[in-house]
Structure 1
């Protein structure tokens, strides 16, 4: 399969620049190579490696028309089947680069991928195994929940994840080791989720929302606290999970109302400008109210069953978010500064190795029909899923 894609990419490259077998490297994808970026067989090996990495970036840009997972099949076999020589610009009359140099370049890329494979997230993989669909993306926040303000802050991927994890940890009668496993899995996932949130947020509008998620997660991961409230002491004695949820909801509601009733700065009328603490509180209010609505008539659901349902919901959101990883890997290779771009290619290779098993797992899911830009936005996911109902 990989060989087919490589051939298609090579043919596309040749058609794009209108020459027989020579592809320019250096500069932006599809732009002419500068004189400083010309690769010669006599060029020092270290410099050749730098420039060929740029060629690899160019190849990655060319295959963006392929599906994300097929791209990764190609890149995952970069040192085995992919011949980079057609992507090297040679001066007239120059010989091809020696096979030894090409092999060393491919071996270096393989080593970067293998380095990433050594860092694969086992706890995250176990958590993702709970997901069989993306329904959690739609279910974590119901539109029937009354708003506390005229507008609602938008969600990034990480905010509902940390809110749901906080709620799961706070549930009564859940063994500590089960809560700890969940926190470990979400923690490993968030390191990748933040790449998606950070890389694909082109405008920076979501900065306060991402900061809210980061602040909450520090408390949950290190101290099992949500905004200074000890999550493992939210329930006392025979308290039910509904009472625990209502307490967390009341805390969130009070924080939001205390802030919104005193708004004087016109900038604060936009929820994306709210303090991180208030954005996190609004998320907690809406999600706890959603769970209470879902369980309004369910008097027999146990704490353990609800905990498992929340784990599945968390897994669904993680899975949906991480379908963007292939695009992030490619995007990280597109940087205007040549020096940064080459370093980003190396990081992308490590990330490919780190996320390989996760991406293979996600191939079992059926993806919604969203372009790259919309697929990076959890609100677009929710809108598309509601539309399909």
Structure 2
């Protein structure tokens, strides 16, 4: 990845008939103090050298466990496959998905499979997904423009705390469940039955106003609905002969999780750029520092994503998993396009984007 100081140095040296184009653009980066007409080139170079140091610090914090999981993702198919339209709804309306909820639900199921829950594989998957969820939550927090999905995100967070700390899902002990069930199919059915009972009780005891809008459902009901739909989807495609030893299903679900994470991470460059210019001036220095640190930390992830083609979604729709699913449903052949923003381009866009980074010089 190129250094900012290298990019700006080369740009500063580029002259045109009307003067330095780069200087004109770079002037937008800096909030000058009263009485200052322009910032010296040397000072500007020093600023970007400091930014390089932050990026280098981030590069030493690569989420290696997460990267190991992302190495198995297969062109985002899991985004389409984790929830089937063939599964009957338990209510007339379905709550929309955020990125984090299906990840938590799928991970809960995967680590509960017989011969998995008490194994090293479950611990490894938990560690990898935990690293991924920290970035997923940052993406959701930064790019979601309304509180529309706040209950869904909260449902994912509450469920993950219970799973990560206590190995439980809505009171079900995942280790005991794994030991009790003879095979993966029994585990899936247990999850589905439990979720269906929870939603059924909610429907019987809740007034129509709250029940009518799934966006207003309590966190446990949203999580239960996700569990019901995903466990039923897996049951529909369950191949007992090939997956009776649980290893095949564990691998298939792990790939599905990796696919969803990878799809979500196509938004990382946008998060980095957004953090550089959206915050109030008094908070912007900290926000820009966080952006460059994130850029360094996700270098390997950005490069990995560049090795694959992405769906041709516009910049707004790519933020939402439901838009990805709608795209795949509409385009059976899954038309893909080359990635529009790589890690290197994310750096370059910081000095060429219409909405520039502002650096406060004291």
Q: Give the alignment's TM-score, normalised by structure 2.
A: 0.82
Q: How far off is 1:23 after superposition?
A: 4.2
Provide the residue aligned with 1:103 in structure 2.
Answer: 45
Greater relative contact order structure (CA < 8 Å, 6+ sep): 2
1-side partners of 2:258 and 2:22: how far apart? 48
| Residues 388 and 110 of structure 1: CA distance in aligned 2, closer, same or farther (over 3 Å) | same
Aligned residues: 324
Provide the residue aligned with 2:32 in structure 1.
Answer: 38
| Residues 172 and 19 of structure 1: CA distance in aligned 2, closer, same or farther (over 3 Å) | closer
Provide the residue aligned with 2:65 in structure 1.
Answer: 123
Q: How far off is 1:262 after superposition?
A: 2.6
Q: Which runs of 5+ in 1 are unaligned?
A: 44-88, 91-95
Q: How far off is 1:366 after superposition?
A: 0.7
Provide the residue aligned with 1:253 in structure 2.
Answer: 196
| Residues 19 and 308 of structure 1: CA distance in aligned 2, closer, same or farther (over 3 Å) | closer
1-side partners of 2:228 and 2:311: how far apart? 28
Provide the residue aligned with 1:187 in structure 2.
Answer: 130
Q: How far off is 1:102 after superposition?
A: 3.0
2-side partners of 1:259 and 1:38: how far apart? 58
1-side partners of 2:32 and 2:52: how far apart? 24
Kept after mapping to 2: 8 A contact 1:263/1:269: no
2-side partners of 1:335 and 1:102: how far apart? 21
Provide the residue aligned with 1:351 in structure 2.
Answer: 294
1-side partners of 2:181 and 2:225: how far apart? 28
Alignment of 1:257-268 (within 5 A): 257-264=200-207, 266-268=209-211
Q: How far off is 1:210 after superposition?
A: 0.3
RMSD (CA atoms): 2.9
SS of 1:339's partner is helix
Alignment of 1:348-387 (within 5 A): 348-387=291-330
Alignment of 1:209-228 (within 5 A): 209-228=152-171
Provide the residue aligned with 2:24 in structure 1.
Answer: 22
Kept after mapping to 2: 8 A contact 1:252/1:284: yes
Kept after mapping to 1: 8 A contact 2:11/2:22: no
Alignment of 1:45-124 (within 5 A): 90=38, 97=40, 99=42, 101-124=43-66
Choose from 93, 96, 99 the match for 1:151: 93
Kept after mapping to 2: 8 A contact 1:200/1:328: yes
Range with bigger deviation, 170-179 or 305-314 = 170-179
Provide the residue aligned with 2:268 in structure 1.
Answer: 325
Kept after mapping to 2: 8 A contact 1:166/1:220: yes
Choose from 218, 223, 226 the match for 1:280: 223
2-side partners of 1:5 and 1:320: how far apart? 29
Kept after mapping to 2: 8 A contact 1:140/1:287: yes
Provide the residue aligned with 1:163 in structure 2.
Answer: 105
1-side partners of 2:9 and 2:45: how far apart? 19
Provide the residue aligned with 1:63 in structure 2.
Answer: none
Q: Give the alignment's TM-score, normalised by structure 1.
A: 0.77
Provide the residue aligned with 2:236 in structure 1.
Answer: 293
2-side partners of 1:311 and 1:326: how far apart? 25
| Residues 379 and 242 of structure 1: CA distance in aligned 2, closer, same or farther (over 3 Å) | same
SS of 1:132's partner is coil
Q: How far off is 1:237 after superposition?
A: 5.2
Kept after mapping to 2: 8 A contact 1:245/1:292: yes
